[in-house]
Amino acid sequence: MLASYVNGTGHPASAKADKIQSITGVMMGCFLLAHLHFESSILLGKDAFYTVVQFLEGGMFSSTGHGFPIVTKVFSVFMLAVVMLHAAVALRRFPAQLGQWRALRRHMAVINHKDSQAWFWQLVTGFVLFFLVPVHLFTMIANPEIGPNLSAERVYHQNAWLLYALLLPAVVIHAMIGLYRVAVKWGFTEKRTGLRKLAKVLIIYLIVIGLLSLGSYMLIGSELTLPVEAYRPS
């Protein structure tokens, strides 16, 4: 595998670190699948998104039916811890020296190996996410209030669309390749070709619904006047 080639064959990763990386990767991949679909409820209108948010924030346990933003804050802290743990064990495979990067480039130039190419793109997107994901999660921790209007304000008026436009393709590609590699690594399937095709379809599908959702927030945000008030169903 390309990861072993770049990092050398004399220093194999421990089984424990591999398990931690796989478990945290699966957790984040599954969360991303759910998160993008929850976000895409904005495509069905403000009421649909508002209902989803209140459900996820435990609105059924409130006398007013309004959810608890603290739920979003706590879950964001938890996901940040998962991301940090995943990054800590994944960095051992990251080419840290110029010679390793040169070896990586030579390897990619002469060997047309699908899984090696997948690992390369996971490496590149992982580097990008190392900077973007904490920014997104810290934002949610500092300001956990979400809803049709407040989320649109963040995207449009606070220019968060630029962060999300960079984050979306990177996190989708990284997560779907990661789930593919976990399935192959731990022997869940031997049908690599079919699984790679499924990963490509999911990448395209998730990026499309993510971009459509982002476009909806931009449209809603452009129609809002400052200061923005939280949305309440009529």
Q: What is the pLDDT of residues 171-199, one digit of tens each?
A: 999 999 999 999 988 888 778 888 999 99
Q: Assign residue 197 the CATH number of its domain.
A: 1.20.1300.10
Residue 174: inside a domain, yes or no? Answer: yes
Residue 234: inside a domain, yes or no? Answer: no
Residue 5: inside a domain, yes or no? Answer: no
Residue 73: inside a domain, yes or no? Answer: yes
Residue 40: inside a domain, yes or no? Answer: yes
Tell me: pLDDT of 127 over 60: yes
Residue 74: inside a domain, yes or no? Answer: yes
82's CB contacts (< 8 A; 6+ apart) are 24, 27, 28
Helix (H, G, I), strand (E, B) or coil at 11: coil
Tell me: pLDDT of 144 over 80: yes
> Known binding site for heme b: residues?
35, 86, 136, 174
**Domain interval for residue 48:** 14-222
Whole-prediction pTM: 0.86
The total of structural domains in the chain comes to 1
| Integer Cα distance of 126 and 112 in angstroms | 21
Residue 213: inside a domain, yes or no? Answer: yes
> Known binding site: residues?
35, 86, 136, 174
Residue 145: inside a domain, yes or no? Answer: yes
**Amino acid type, 70:** I
